[in-house]
Every structure is written in structure tokens, then in C-alpha cells.
Amino acid sequence: RRFIRALFTASPHSHRYKQSVTLPSLAAGIASLYYWYYYTHTHVNTNSLILRASCSDKSHSLRNSMNFLADVCDKVIPSVVYIESTGSGRGMLHQLESGGSGFIIHTNGLVITNAHVTAGAHSVTVRLHDNRLVKGRVVAIDQLKDLALIQLNVTSPLPALKLVSTEDLRAGEMVLALGSPLRLTNTITSGIVSQASRRSDELGLKGEMSYIQTDAAIISGNSGGPLVNLDGEVIGINTLTAGPGVSFAIPSDYAIKMIQKMTTVKRTHKSNYYVGVQMLSLTPQLVHSLMQRASDSYPDDA
């Protein structure tokens, strides 16, 4: 300040000007100019650099570039459903409740799951990803392959997954298993394909089938859910586990053949109607059960 004041108030030929322009005054003036330049230019530029750096870091962060599994989950989860079914056990008094997973394979509401998830029921209740509860009808079942198809009663299209062949599946490929273990919906586990084709006789199971072995966790309630590759395509239907790190899925090829067969039968088969009759011994317990089910129509003198 002294330097600037002297510069503008004193005459260049005066003795006062010569005394004012001393080394301390010159240093103070230079410091003032430097501070003014730094505050008005460098400070603003620093903020803009920080802003640009934060935008750049967001677009090139490891979280956004390496979380490819999360991208697969976003694609698959809306098609995974939870299935509740009640089937008849022996006689007419025992009811079996079952729960498991499934996934939508057609926008019209066609769902595939394990046969054991349906518990022999003809109709089931299905919880969609958005928590809507819809009724479903079992339209096809293959006990040997442990597969079942369910048609949901819906009026609007639903997100569906694509079934692909496993002919080129290799051991070591990364996979995701989705389902509702222990009724915990939208649970995801990851792993690799341990063996692309494990024969059923190696597992002590009857029938000529092969299974996809994976170390992705598949536990109770996960049955019927999809096993997908990194493209979000279904390569298998979760079905059983032999222990930690040893789980199995039914290859999607079996499901594809089942759907093709069902479509062919629908086109060529003429509907036939039958009346089913089951002989039962009339016991006091059975009479009591019938009275409770049809109290209005049951005769009073029975």
C-alpha cells in the first residue's frame, strides 16, 4: 500500500518519492499484487478444477466400471417371482404347503419352476417383483425332470427372461443364482460353473439327466429360480444342493424342450373331459371335515 500510495502521490523528481521507493515498500507492493492475483484467479480456477475432477472421477470410477454383476441383476430381478402353493396330501384331510422361486419366460405371464415347488397343486399364488399377488394355474408338469409351467392370470405384459442352450457352456464361467431362500425374496448369490454337465448317476439320482454344477449358493426356497450368465440369459433352473459350494441346476435345454412339447400338444390335442372318482372310507373324522367345508349344503341328518 505504501508503494502504491507513494507512486501516485509523489512527484518523480521529489526527494520524498525517492525515499518512498525503498526495498521494503517494493516487497510489500509485490506481495499485495501477488495476493490479489492469486485470490481473484487461482482460487476460482482451483474450484473449477475440483468440479471437473469430481465429474471425471464419477465417470471413470471402479464402482461404475467394474460392477457388471449389478447390471446383470438389474436386468434379471424384475422377472423373478416367489411361488406359494398348497397341494393335497394323502386322502382329503392333509394339505401340503410349499414355497419356492420361479421366473417369467413369456410376457403373457408364463412362469417356469421346479415341479416339487408346486406340491401337486393345480393353482398357486405368485408374488411378483412389485409385490403384487396374482393367481396362477399349473399348465404342465414333468416330475422326472422336476419342471413345471405356471400360467399367471394377468392382463398386462410382464418382463420375461430368455432361455438359452447350454451346449457351449464352459466350466469357470461366472453365474448368478436368484431366488427366495427362506422366503427372502430377490436374494442373489454368485459363483462359477464348477462342471457344465454332471450326470445324474454321479449324484445317485435315477433317470438319464445332466445337471449344471455351481458353487453359487442354492438353498431351500431358491428352487425354481434362474441361474443366469453375465448376459442375463437363463442357462439353468436352480434345483438342489449337496452341501456348501456344491449346488446343481437343471440345464435350460430341458425347459426349452418342455415348452416346445407343450406348444405342439396345444396345437394338435383335442380337449377331453373326465370325471375323477376316489374311493375313501367314511370315518367320523372325514364326516367332520366334509361338514366344515360345506356346512350350508350338508344334510342335517347325516
User: So which residues are the catalytic ones?
Assistant: 116, 146, 223
| 127 vs 131: CA distance, rounded Å | 6
Ramachandran assignment for 91, one of left (phi > 0), alpha (psi -120 to 50 degrees), beta (any other): left
Following DSSP, what letter does each residue of 116-157 receive, concatenated?
Answer: HHHTT-SEEEEE-TTS-EEEEEEEEEETTTTEEEEEE--SS-
State the number of CA atoms in the 13 A half-sphere of 79 facing the CB: 30
Burial label for 101, CB within 10 Å (0-12, 13-18, 19+), is: buried
Within the chain, where are the H helices? 2-9, 15-20, 23-37, 43-59, 62-66, 68-76, 115-118, 252-268, 284-293
Beta carbons of 179 and 222 less than 8 angstroms apart: yes
User: Quick one: which H or E segment has residue 203?
Assistant: none
Amino acid sitting at position 218: I
Please report where in the chains the cell 467394474 appears, as a residue: 66
Task: Identify the DSSP state of 40.
Answer: I
Beta carbons of 106 and 150 less than 8 angstroms apart: no
